[in-house]
Structure 1
Amino acid sequence: MLKIPLAGDFVGASDSDFVIAEWTQDGPEWVAPLHYHRNCDEAWYVLEGVLSFLVGEDETLVPAGSAILVPKGTVHSYRNAGEVPARYLLVMTSKTHQLIDAIHSSSDRSPEGMAAVFERFDAVLLGWPRQTKV
């Protein structure tokens, strides 16, 4: 599977071992609520800008040219921490990609509805992180 350009899209399939997405985050809001995946690791590589990751209790800045791995079972979220849009690659399992698709296509945005979506993909939704600055 070839994607030219990859920007704003992903490469991989629902039966792949992993999926790579290239996304951009403009604003400083958290991209996802705090959550963890019971059986899936995730990794990000920052191409431009800077992302801030809340991993457990620690918030860490990840600038362009750097990468972070969040192991399965680890509570996490992330956001753009810079003044310019952050562009990054997200390397995830196909199950995590299916979760993201299900979140975006869900009509029930209630906390209970979203918790059920996370649970369907072996993940646990915990709620939104506090707004912090590092």
Structure 2
Amino acid sequence: MPEGANIALAEWTADGTPPGSEPIWIAPLHIHHEDDEAWYVLEGTLGFQIGEETIEAHANDGVVVPRGTPHTFWNPKEIPARYLIIMTAQIRDLIDAIHSTEQRDPETMKKLFEQYGAELL
């Protein structure tokens, strides 16, 4: 991300869900208190819980989650999904911190989310 920029764009792939299995959340249910977040599906399908609503987004669909809205997402299909995630610098820093920590216990994760203006639900 360029220095001084407040938006980041990343392309990611989500593994598929085997038949008869429960989908695995890509991110746990959480809220960003200060940041909006968006996704654009390039291939496959992503499922989203946004507040009380559950939706599926397919190739060429975009999804926006306004700050303050509980959300999570997953790949509900067998085939991998490829997508873009559009996020603020603060969300990108949170994701980087999560990926770099070895401690994954609930209390550590809760504190980490709070450090970056978010809340783990």
TM-score by length of 2: 0.91
- Residue identity opposite 1:125 in structure 2: L
Q: CA deviation at 1:82?
A: 1.7
Higher strand share: 2
Say which of 62, 69, 82 aligns to 1:67. Answer: 62
The question of whether the paired residues in 2 share the 8 Å contact of 1:46 and 1:62 is answered with yes
Q: CA deviation at 1:15?
A: 3.5
RMSD over aligned CA atoms reads 1.1
Say which of 4, 7, 11 aligns to 1:15. Answer: 4
Q: Find the residue that maps to 1:118 and give its secondary structure.
A: helix
Say which of 96, 99, 102 aligns to 1:101. Answer: 96
Q: How does 1:1-134 map to 2 (within 5 A)?
A: 12-13=1-2, 15-27=4-16, 28-126=23-121
Q: Where does residue 129 of structure 1 map in the other structure? A: none
Q: Which stretches in structure 2 are left out of the alignment for 5+ residues?
A: 17-22
Q: CA deviation at 1:14?
A: 6.2
| Bigger RCO (CA 8 Å, 6+ sep) | 2
- Residue identity opposite 1:40 in structure 2: D
Provide the rounded CA distance (Å) in 2 between the counterparts of 1:14 and 1:114: 27
- Residue identity opposite 1:44 in structure 2: W
When the two structures are aligned, how many residues end up with a matched partner? Answer: 115
Q: Where does residue 4 of structure 1 map in the other structure? A: none
TM-score by length of 1: 0.82
**CA pair 76-14 structure 1, distance change in 2 beyond 3 A:** farther
Q: Which contiguous aligned blocks of 4+ residues in structure 1 show a shift greater than 4 angstroms?
A: none
Provide the rounded CA distance (Å) in 1 between the counterparts of 2:59 and 2:76: 12
Q: Find the residue that maps to 1:31 and give its secondary structure.
A: strand
Provide the rounded CA distance (Å) in 2 between the counterparts of 1:38 and 1:13: 24
